[in-house]
A = this chain, B = another copy of it.
Amino acid sequence: MTTDTPAVQTVEWLTAEQQVHWRSFRGGAARLFAALEHELEQQTGLSTHEYEVLVRLSEAPDRTLRMAQLADNLAHSRSRLTHTIRRMEEQGLVARLPCVEDARGVNCTMTEKGWQVLVAAAPSHVQSVRDHLVDVLTPEQFAALGDAMETVRQHLTGGACHVE
């Protein structure tokens, strides 16, 4: 944006080429995530959010994480996570335990059933990711995609973190 132009348009618009790329990105990402969500749901009964919860827990020490850490990992709001975990607890996939060091805290851990469900779900999900993303691109394209989005992610989480 220019400093002192009182012109009608102080905004720097996207070039035609940039707009094409932006729309490809938005449209492609939306369709990709929708397809993955749909296939995971059909094949395993899990939503991608539930799946991600199980993945994070499976990688944590004692397969346990504080609610806040889990929320940060997933970039979900606290309340959203509370609701998700309550539903998963009802299904027996996870359990909540009070946190010893901090009485405010809640430790979320995955149950044996949760582990089984994850192990059963992972193969088909990985296959979906390969089918619709990894194997569709050249290794160089896929690596470039990952690198670019890592830059975007770090910029969003490092720099001026918006309110909320």
| Partner-B contacts on A (CB < 8 A) | 1-2, 5, 9-14, 17-18, 20-25, 27-35, 38-39, 55, 58-59, 75, 118-119, 122-124, 126-127, 129-130, 132-134, 136-137, 141-153, 155-157, 162, 164
Interface pair B157/A31, CB less than 8 Å apart: yes
Contact residues in B for A162 (Cβ distance below 8 Å): 35, 38-39
Shortest Cβ distance from A157 into B: residue:
B31
Q: Smallest CB–CB gap between A47 and chain B, Å?
A: 14
- Given the complex, which residues of B lie within 8 Å of A31, measured CB to CB? 75, 152-153, 156-157
Are A9 and B123 within 8 A (Cβ)? yes
> Across the two chains, which residue of chain B brings its CB closest to A32?
B152
Instruction: Find out whether the CB atom of B152 lies under 8 angstroms from the CB atom of A11.
Output: no
| Cβ-closest 7 pairs across A and B | A21-B146, A28-B149, A28-B153, A24-B150, A11-B123, A28-B152, A144-B144
Most buried by B among A33, A39, A164: A164
| Docked-complex contact A147 and B18, CB < 8 angstroms | no
Of A10, A59, A133, the most chain B CB neighbours within 10 A belong to A133
The residue of chain B having its C-beta at the shortest distance from the C-beta of A141 within the complex is B148
20 contacts across the A-B interface (CB closer than 8 A): A11-B123, A11-B124, A13-B126, A22-B129, A22-B133, A24-B150, A25-B149, A31-B152, A32-B153, A35-B156, A35-B162, A132-B152, A136-B152, A136-B155, A137-B151, A137-B152, A141-B147, A142-B148, A144-B144, A144-B148
